[in-house]
Amino acid sequence: MNNPFFLGRQPILDREEKLFAYGLTFCPTESLPHCSTTDGLLPLPMREMLSETGAEEILGERTGVITMDMDLFMNDSLESLPSNRVILSLDENIPLNKEVIRRCHHFKESGFTLALESHPFHPELEDLYRIIDIIRVDPNLVSTPRMKEMVQQLHRQSVRLLAKNVETRQQYTQYRELGFDFFQGFFFAHPAVVARKKLDESTAGLLRILHLILNDAELEAIVHTFQESPALTYKLLIQANSAVIGVRREIESVRHAISLLGRDQIRRWVQMELLSSSGSQEQDNPLVEMATVRASFLEQLSKSHPMLRGFKDAADRAFLVGTLSMMESIYNVSIQDVVKSVELSSDVKMALLRRSGLFGDMLTFVEALERLDFPAAGKLLPKIKISPAKILDAQRNSFAWNKVV
Protein backbone atom coordinates (compact mmCIF):
# COMPACT_ATOMS: atom_id res chain seq x y z
CA MET A 1 0.00 0.00 0.00
CA ASN A 2 1.62 3.25 -1.16
CA ASN A 3 -0.06 5.51 1.40
CA PRO A 4 -0.55 3.41 4.54
CA PHE A 5 -2.79 4.64 7.32
CA PHE A 6 -3.94 3.53 10.72
CA LEU A 7 -7.50 2.36 11.10
CA GLY A 8 -9.67 2.86 14.17
CA ARG A 9 -12.90 0.91 14.56
CA GLN A 10 -14.98 2.10 17.50
CA PRO A 11 -18.16 0.23 18.51
CA ILE A 12 -21.53 1.97 18.32
CA LEU A 13 -24.13 0.37 20.60
CA ASP A 14 -27.90 0.59 20.70
CA ARG A 15 -30.05 1.11 23.81
CA GLU A 16 -29.73 -2.59 24.66
CA GLU A 17 -25.91 -2.30 24.54
CA LYS A 18 -25.76 -4.48 21.44
CA LEU A 19 -23.50 -3.72 18.50
CA PHE A 20 -25.20 -1.53 15.91
CA ALA A 21 -22.30 -0.24 13.80
CA TYR A 22 -18.68 0.89 13.90
CA GLY A 23 -17.37 4.42 13.69
CA LEU A 24 -14.41 4.20 11.30
CA THR A 25 -11.45 6.50 11.90
CA PHE A 26 -8.45 6.92 9.62
CA CYS A 27 -5.05 8.47 10.20
CA PRO A 28 -2.29 8.57 7.54
CA THR A 29 0.99 7.40 9.05
CA GLU A 30 2.72 10.67 8.21
CA SER A 31 0.12 12.50 10.34
CA LEU A 32 0.42 10.29 13.45
CA PRO A 33 1.90 12.90 15.83
CA HIS A 34 -0.98 15.29 15.12
CA CYS A 35 -3.89 12.98 14.34
CA SER A 36 -7.12 13.85 16.12
CA THR A 37 -9.13 11.22 17.98
CA THR A 38 -12.21 12.36 16.10
CA ASP A 39 -13.28 10.48 13.00
CA GLY A 40 -10.83 11.02 10.20
CA LEU A 41 -11.92 11.72 6.65
CA LEU A 42 -12.06 8.79 4.26
CA PRO A 43 -8.77 8.28 2.35
CA LEU A 44 -8.70 6.84 -1.15
CA PRO A 45 -7.19 3.45 -0.12
CA MET A 46 -9.98 3.00 2.40
CA ARG A 47 -12.60 3.70 -0.24
CA GLU A 48 -11.05 0.92 -2.29
CA MET A 49 -10.98 -1.34 0.78
CA LEU A 50 -14.66 -0.72 1.51
CA SER A 51 -15.82 -2.62 -1.52
CA GLU A 52 -18.55 -5.20 -0.94
CA THR A 53 -15.96 -7.87 -0.08
CA GLY A 54 -13.76 -5.50 1.90
CA ALA A 55 -16.69 -4.22 3.94
CA GLU A 56 -17.47 -7.79 5.00
CA GLU A 57 -13.85 -8.21 6.10
CA ILE A 58 -13.68 -5.01 8.14
CA LEU A 59 -17.26 -4.73 9.39
CA GLY A 60 -18.60 -8.28 9.49
CA GLU A 61 -22.38 -7.99 9.48
CA ARG A 62 -22.37 -4.40 10.75
CA THR A 63 -22.30 -1.05 9.00
CA GLY A 64 -19.52 1.53 9.19
CA VAL A 65 -19.98 5.24 9.82
CA ILE A 66 -17.60 7.41 7.79
CA THR A 67 -17.24 11.19 8.10
CA MET A 68 -16.64 13.37 5.06
CA ASP A 69 -15.88 16.96 4.24
CA MET A 70 -17.40 18.96 1.38
CA ASP A 71 -14.89 17.81 -1.25
CA LEU A 72 -15.38 14.16 -0.44
CA PHE A 73 -19.16 14.40 -0.17
CA MET A 74 -19.37 15.89 -3.65
CA ASN A 75 -16.86 13.42 -5.10
CA ASP A 76 -18.18 10.76 -7.47
CA SER A 77 -15.91 8.14 -5.89
CA LEU A 78 -18.49 7.71 -3.10
CA GLU A 79 -20.78 6.09 -5.64
CA SER A 80 -18.59 2.98 -5.49
CA LEU A 81 -19.29 2.38 -1.79
CA PRO A 82 -21.87 -0.31 -0.91
CA SER A 83 -24.94 1.63 0.22
CA ASN A 84 -26.04 -1.11 2.62
CA ARG A 85 -22.69 -1.22 4.44
CA VAL A 86 -21.79 2.42 5.13
CA ILE A 87 -23.45 5.40 6.78
CA LEU A 88 -22.43 8.70 5.24
CA SER A 89 -21.94 11.33 7.94
CA LEU A 90 -21.59 14.97 6.90
CA ASP A 91 -18.94 16.93 8.75
CA GLU A 92 -20.27 19.85 10.79
CA ASN A 93 -18.43 22.32 8.52
CA ILE A 94 -20.35 21.28 5.39
CA PRO A 95 -22.83 24.08 4.55
CA LEU A 96 -26.35 22.71 4.30
CA ASN A 97 -27.16 24.69 1.16
CA LYS A 98 -29.35 23.68 -1.77
CA GLU A 99 -26.50 21.93 -3.58
CA VAL A 100 -25.68 19.78 -0.54
CA ILE A 101 -29.34 18.98 0.12
CA ARG A 102 -29.77 17.87 -3.52
CA ARG A 103 -26.73 15.63 -3.04
CA CYS A 104 -28.29 14.21 0.14
CA HIS A 105 -31.46 13.35 -1.80
CA HIS A 106 -29.32 11.61 -4.43
CA PHE A 107 -27.59 9.40 -1.86
CA LYS A 108 -30.86 8.69 -0.06
CA GLU A 109 -32.45 7.55 -3.32
CA SER A 110 -29.37 5.34 -3.87
CA GLY A 111 -30.07 3.53 -0.60
CA PHE A 112 -27.53 5.17 1.72
CA THR A 113 -28.15 5.96 5.37
CA LEU A 114 -27.32 9.61 6.11
CA ALA A 115 -26.05 11.29 9.28
CA LEU A 116 -25.11 14.78 10.36
CA GLU A 117 -22.22 15.66 12.70
CA SER A 118 -22.74 17.94 15.71
CA HIS A 119 -25.85 19.47 14.22
CA PRO A 120 -28.16 21.76 16.26
CA PHE A 121 -31.86 21.77 15.42
CA HIS A 122 -32.97 24.30 12.76
CA PRO A 123 -36.74 24.58 12.05
CA GLU A 124 -36.07 25.70 8.47
CA LEU A 125 -34.39 22.36 7.71
CA GLU A 126 -37.47 20.19 8.24
CA ASP A 127 -37.35 18.98 4.63
CA LEU A 128 -33.79 17.78 5.17
CA TYR A 129 -34.71 15.99 8.40
CA ARG A 130 -37.15 13.82 6.43
CA ILE A 131 -34.20 12.09 4.75
CA ILE A 132 -31.57 12.32 7.54
CA ASP A 133 -31.50 9.16 9.63
CA ILE A 134 -29.07 9.96 12.43
CA ILE A 135 -27.54 13.01 14.06
CA ARG A 136 -24.28 12.44 15.93
CA VAL A 137 -23.73 14.65 18.96
CA ASP A 138 -21.05 14.99 21.62
CA PRO A 139 -23.29 15.60 24.66
CA ASN A 140 -20.27 16.70 26.68
CA LEU A 141 -20.24 19.91 24.64
CA VAL A 142 -23.91 20.81 25.15
CA SER A 143 -25.64 21.85 28.37
CA THR A 144 -28.22 19.39 29.74
CA PRO A 145 -31.24 21.75 29.37
CA ARG A 146 -30.31 22.51 25.76
CA MET A 147 -29.71 18.82 25.10
CA LYS A 148 -33.16 17.86 26.41
CA GLU A 149 -34.78 20.44 24.15
CA MET A 150 -32.77 19.33 21.12
CA VAL A 151 -33.59 15.63 21.67
CA GLN A 152 -37.30 16.43 21.80
CA GLN A 153 -37.15 18.61 18.68
CA LEU A 154 -35.26 16.05 16.60
CA HIS A 155 -37.28 13.07 17.77
CA ARG A 156 -40.39 14.86 16.51
CA GLN A 157 -38.69 14.77 13.11
CA SER A 158 -38.14 10.98 13.45
CA VAL A 159 -34.39 11.51 13.56
CA ARG A 160 -32.38 9.14 15.75
CA LEU A 161 -29.61 10.51 17.96
CA LEU A 162 -26.14 9.10 18.52
CA ALA A 163 -24.06 10.17 21.53
CA LYS A 164 -20.32 10.25 20.82
CA ASN A 165 -17.40 9.99 23.25
CA VAL A 166 -19.29 8.00 25.86
CA GLU A 167 -16.56 6.77 28.19
CA THR A 168 -18.29 5.97 31.49
CA ARG A 169 -21.32 4.00 32.60
CA GLN A 170 -22.67 7.15 34.25
CA GLN A 171 -22.54 9.02 30.95
CA TYR A 172 -24.26 6.18 29.12
CA THR A 173 -27.09 6.08 31.68
CA GLN A 174 -27.53 9.84 31.55
CA TYR A 175 -27.65 10.01 27.75
CA ARG A 176 -29.94 7.01 27.53
CA GLU A 177 -32.38 8.67 29.92
CA LEU A 178 -32.22 11.83 27.81
CA GLY A 179 -33.48 9.77 24.85
CA PHE A 180 -30.38 8.99 22.79
CA ASP A 181 -30.71 5.94 20.55
CA PHE A 182 -27.06 5.00 19.95
CA PHE A 183 -23.84 5.34 21.93
CA GLN A 184 -20.27 5.47 20.63
CA GLY A 185 -17.32 4.95 22.96
CA PHE A 186 -15.70 2.39 25.23
CA PHE A 187 -17.85 2.81 28.34
CA PHE A 188 -18.61 -0.93 28.23
CA ALA A 189 -14.95 -1.96 28.44
CA HIS A 190 -13.81 -0.37 31.71
CA PRO A 191 -13.49 -2.82 34.61
CA ALA A 192 -14.37 -0.22 37.22
CA VAL A 193 -17.79 0.52 35.77
CA VAL A 194 -18.91 -2.54 33.82
CA ALA A 195 -21.26 -4.96 35.53
CA ARG A 196 -19.07 -8.03 35.26
CA LYS A 197 -19.65 -11.72 35.67
CA LYS A 198 -17.90 -13.41 38.60
CA LEU A 199 -15.34 -16.11 38.05
CA ASP A 200 -17.75 -19.01 38.43
CA GLU A 201 -17.03 -22.74 38.58
CA SER A 202 -17.24 -23.20 34.82
CA THR A 203 -14.73 -20.42 34.24
CA ALA A 204 -12.43 -21.73 36.95
CA GLY A 205 -12.55 -25.11 35.20
CA LEU A 206 -11.53 -23.50 31.91
CA LEU A 207 -8.57 -21.86 33.61
CA ARG A 208 -7.53 -25.21 35.10
CA ILE A 209 -7.73 -26.85 31.67
CA LEU A 210 -5.69 -24.02 30.14
CA HIS A 211 -3.12 -24.42 32.89
CA LEU A 212 -2.85 -28.19 32.22
CA ILE A 213 -2.48 -27.78 28.45
CA LEU A 214 0.12 -25.02 28.72
CA ASN A 215 2.16 -27.26 31.02
CA ASP A 216 1.88 -30.42 28.88
CA ALA A 217 0.00 -32.27 31.59
CA GLU A 218 -0.91 -35.92 31.26
CA LEU A 219 -4.08 -36.69 29.30
CA GLU A 220 -5.72 -38.21 32.38
CA ALA A 221 -5.52 -34.92 34.27
CA ILE A 222 -7.21 -33.04 31.40
CA VAL A 223 -9.91 -35.72 31.08
CA HIS A 224 -10.58 -35.59 34.83
CA THR A 225 -10.95 -31.79 34.83
CA PHE A 226 -13.49 -31.94 32.01
CA GLN A 227 -15.39 -34.72 33.76
CA GLU A 228 -15.72 -32.58 36.90
CA SER A 229 -17.97 -30.18 34.98
CA PRO A 230 -21.00 -31.49 33.04
CA ALA A 231 -21.32 -28.11 31.30
CA LEU A 232 -17.72 -28.20 30.03
CA THR A 233 -18.06 -31.84 29.01
CA TYR A 234 -21.11 -30.99 26.94
CA LYS A 235 -19.33 -28.09 25.24
CA LEU A 236 -16.33 -30.29 24.53
CA LEU A 237 -18.55 -32.87 22.85
CA ILE A 238 -20.20 -30.14 20.76
CA GLN A 239 -16.76 -28.96 19.62
CA ALA A 240 -15.64 -32.51 18.84
CA ASN A 241 -18.83 -33.18 16.92
CA SER A 242 -18.19 -30.09 14.80
CA ALA A 243 -14.68 -31.34 14.09
CA VAL A 244 -15.87 -34.67 12.66
CA ILE A 245 -18.71 -33.40 10.47
CA GLY A 246 -18.83 -35.63 7.38
CA VAL A 247 -16.98 -38.42 9.18
CA ARG A 248 -19.11 -41.35 10.30
CA ARG A 249 -17.65 -41.74 13.75
CA GLU A 250 -19.41 -41.60 17.07
CA ILE A 251 -17.75 -39.75 19.93
CA GLU A 252 -17.23 -42.41 22.55
CA SER A 253 -15.94 -40.49 25.56
CA VAL A 254 -14.31 -37.33 26.86
CA ARG A 255 -10.91 -38.89 26.13
CA HIS A 256 -12.01 -39.66 22.57
CA ALA A 257 -13.28 -36.10 22.09
CA ILE A 258 -9.95 -34.68 23.28
CA SER A 259 -8.02 -36.92 20.89
CA LEU A 260 -10.23 -35.85 17.98
CA LEU A 261 -9.70 -32.17 18.64
CA GLY A 262 -6.06 -32.20 19.71
CA ARG A 263 -4.49 -30.08 22.40
CA ASP A 264 -3.86 -27.02 20.23
CA GLN A 265 -7.47 -26.75 19.12
CA ILE A 266 -8.73 -27.32 22.67
CA ARG A 267 -6.40 -24.60 23.94
CA ARG A 268 -7.70 -22.13 21.37
CA TRP A 269 -11.31 -23.06 22.11
CA VAL A 270 -10.74 -22.68 25.89
CA GLN A 271 -9.28 -19.21 25.34
CA MET A 272 -12.32 -18.19 23.32
CA GLU A 273 -14.67 -19.54 25.99
CA LEU A 274 -12.86 -17.46 28.60
CA LEU A 275 -13.60 -14.32 26.61
CA SER A 276 -17.34 -14.85 26.54
CA SER A 277 -19.39 -13.39 29.37
CA SER A 278 -22.10 -16.01 28.84
CA GLY A 279 -20.02 -19.04 27.92
CA SER A 280 -20.61 -18.55 24.19
CA GLN A 281 -19.55 -15.96 21.68
CA GLU A 282 -22.38 -13.55 21.06
CA GLN A 283 -21.92 -11.62 17.83
CA ASP A 284 -23.58 -8.53 19.27
CA ASN A 285 -21.56 -8.53 22.51
CA PRO A 286 -19.08 -5.65 22.04
CA LEU A 287 -16.74 -6.82 24.80
CA VAL A 288 -16.37 -10.32 23.34
CA GLU A 289 -15.91 -8.82 19.87
CA MET A 290 -13.20 -6.49 21.14
CA ALA A 291 -11.42 -9.30 23.00
CA THR A 292 -11.34 -11.75 20.11
CA VAL A 293 -10.11 -9.09 17.69
CA ARG A 294 -7.40 -7.99 20.13
CA ALA A 295 -6.12 -11.55 20.60
CA SER A 296 -6.05 -12.20 16.86
CA PHE A 297 -4.44 -8.80 16.12
CA LEU A 298 -1.59 -9.59 18.50
CA GLU A 299 -1.21 -13.02 16.93
CA GLN A 300 -0.98 -11.49 13.46
CA LEU A 301 1.53 -8.82 14.58
CA SER A 302 3.79 -11.45 16.15
CA LYS A 303 4.10 -13.16 12.77
CA SER A 304 5.61 -9.99 11.29
CA HIS A 305 7.83 -8.98 14.21
CA PRO A 306 11.47 -9.38 13.10
CA MET A 307 12.63 -10.36 16.59
CA LEU A 308 10.06 -13.16 16.90
CA ARG A 309 10.95 -14.98 13.71
CA GLY A 310 12.06 -18.50 14.41
CA PHE A 311 9.98 -18.80 17.59
CA LYS A 312 7.34 -21.33 16.59
CA ASP A 313 5.06 -20.58 19.55
CA ALA A 314 5.33 -16.76 19.38
CA ALA A 315 1.95 -16.42 17.69
CA ASP A 316 0.30 -18.65 20.30
CA ARG A 317 1.84 -16.65 23.13
CA ALA A 318 0.71 -13.37 21.56
CA PHE A 319 -2.83 -14.70 21.20
CA LEU A 320 -2.76 -15.78 24.86
CA VAL A 321 -1.64 -12.30 25.93
CA GLY A 322 -4.56 -10.78 24.07
CA THR A 323 -7.00 -13.26 25.57
CA LEU A 324 -5.93 -12.88 29.19
CA SER A 325 -5.52 -9.08 28.96
CA MET A 326 -9.31 -8.77 28.63
CA MET A 327 -10.16 -10.92 31.65
CA GLU A 328 -10.40 -7.93 33.99
CA SER A 329 -13.04 -6.35 31.76
CA ILE A 330 -15.12 -9.53 31.52
CA TYR A 331 -14.81 -11.08 34.98
CA ASN A 332 -14.71 -9.83 38.52
CA VAL A 333 -11.03 -10.75 38.90
CA SER A 334 -7.77 -8.81 38.78
CA ILE A 335 -5.10 -9.53 36.21
CA GLN A 336 -2.81 -10.47 39.11
CA ASP A 337 -5.25 -13.22 40.12
CA VAL A 338 -5.50 -14.41 36.52
CA VAL A 339 -1.73 -14.69 36.26
CA LYS A 340 -1.57 -16.59 39.56
CA SER A 341 -4.22 -19.08 38.41
CA VAL A 342 -2.32 -20.16 35.28
CA GLU A 343 1.35 -21.08 34.99
CA LEU A 344 2.59 -18.68 32.29
CA SER A 345 5.93 -18.04 30.62
CA SER A 346 7.84 -15.02 31.93
CA ASP A 347 7.39 -12.99 28.73
CA VAL A 348 3.60 -13.44 28.83
CA LYS A 349 3.53 -12.48 32.52
CA MET A 350 5.62 -9.34 31.87
CA ALA A 351 3.29 -8.32 29.06
CA LEU A 352 0.17 -8.72 31.21
CA LEU A 353 1.45 -7.26 34.47
CA ARG A 354 3.84 -4.54 33.26
CA ARG A 355 3.17 -4.09 29.55
CA SER A 356 6.88 -4.78 29.04
CA GLY A 357 8.87 -6.92 26.63
CA LEU A 358 8.04 -7.57 22.96
CA PHE A 359 4.53 -8.83 23.71
CA GLY A 360 3.96 -5.95 26.14
CA ASP A 361 4.94 -3.38 23.50
CA MET A 362 2.58 -4.95 20.98
CA LEU A 363 -0.24 -5.09 23.55
CA THR A 364 0.25 -1.41 24.43
CA PHE A 365 0.25 -0.54 20.73
CA VAL A 366 -3.01 -2.43 20.08
CA GLU A 367 -4.64 -0.83 23.13
CA ALA A 368 -3.67 2.63 21.81
CA LEU A 369 -5.34 1.90 18.47
CA GLU A 370 -8.45 0.68 20.30
CA ARG A 371 -8.59 4.01 22.16
CA LEU A 372 -8.05 5.87 18.84
CA ASP A 373 -4.90 7.35 20.40
CA PHE A 374 -2.96 7.54 17.15
CA PRO A 375 -0.11 9.72 18.49
CA ALA A 376 0.60 7.15 21.23
CA ALA A 377 0.52 4.35 18.66
CA GLY A 378 2.92 6.30 16.47
CA LYS A 379 5.44 6.67 19.28
CA LEU A 380 5.46 2.89 19.68
CA LEU A 381 6.23 2.16 16.03
CA PRO A 382 10.04 2.12 16.57
CA LYS A 383 9.56 -0.51 19.30
CA ILE A 384 7.10 -2.56 17.29
CA LYS A 385 9.51 -2.73 14.32
CA ILE A 386 6.65 -3.58 11.92
CA SER A 387 5.80 -1.48 8.88
CA PRO A 388 2.46 0.40 8.91
CA ALA A 389 1.34 -1.52 5.81
CA LYS A 390 1.89 -4.85 7.58
CA ILE A 391 0.14 -3.51 10.69
CA LEU A 392 -2.93 -2.63 8.63
CA ASP A 393 -2.87 -6.07 7.01
CA ALA A 394 -2.65 -7.67 10.46
CA GLN A 395 -5.58 -5.60 11.68
CA ARG A 396 -7.72 -6.51 8.68
CA ASN A 397 -6.89 -10.17 9.16
CA SER A 398 -7.93 -9.94 12.80
CA PHE A 399 -11.30 -8.45 11.85
CA ALA A 400 -11.86 -11.22 9.32
CA TRP A 401 -10.57 -13.95 11.67
CA ASN A 402 -13.20 -13.09 14.24
CA LYS A 403 -15.92 -13.92 11.70
CA VAL A 404 -14.73 -17.46 11.07
CA VAL A 405 -13.72 -18.70 14.53
- Residue ending a domain, choose from 141, 167, 189: 189
The C-alpha angle 95, 99, 105, rounded to 5 degrees, equals 105
Indicate if the pLDDT at residue 391 is higher than 90: yes
Statement to judge: residues 176 and 249 lie in one domain: no
Residue 99 lies in a domain: yes
- Residue ending a domain, choose from 166, 189, 212: 189
pLDDT of residue 38: 45
What is the DSSP code string of 157-175? TT-EEEE----SHHHHHHH
Statement to judge: residues 298 and 182 lie in one domain: no
Statement to judge: residues 97 and 213 lie in one domain: no
Statement to judge: residues 144 and 213 lie in one domain: no
Statement to judge: residues 96 and 161 lie in one domain: yes
Statement to judge: residues 312 and 381 lie in one domain: yes
Domain that holds residue 346: 201-401
Statement to judge: residues 105 and 172 lie in one domain: yes
Statement to judge: residues 156 and 213 lie in one domain: no
Residue 370 lies in a domain: yes
Statement to judge: residues 111 and 172 lie in one domain: yes
Could you tell me the CATH number of the domain that includes residue 63? 3.20.20.450
Residue 18 lies in a domain: yes
Statement to judge: residues 296 and 332 lie in one domain: yes
What is the DSSP code string of 92-146? TTS---HHHHHHHHHHHHTT-EEEEES----GGGHHHHTT--EEEE-GGGS-HHH
Tens of pLDDT along 101-137? 999 999 999 999 999 998 888 889 988 999 999 999 9
> Is the pTM here over 0.85, yes or no?
no
| Residue 264 main-chain phi, psi, to 5 deg | -65, -45
Statement to judge: residues 18 and 142 lie in one domain: yes
Residue 195 lies in a domain: no
User: Total structural domains in the chain?
Assistant: 2
Query: Stretch 139-158: mean pLDDT, rounded?
Result: 89
Tens of pLDDT along 22-68? 998 888 777 776 675 444 455 556 666 777 666 788 888 899 998 88
Statement to judge: residues 209 and 184 lie in one domain: no
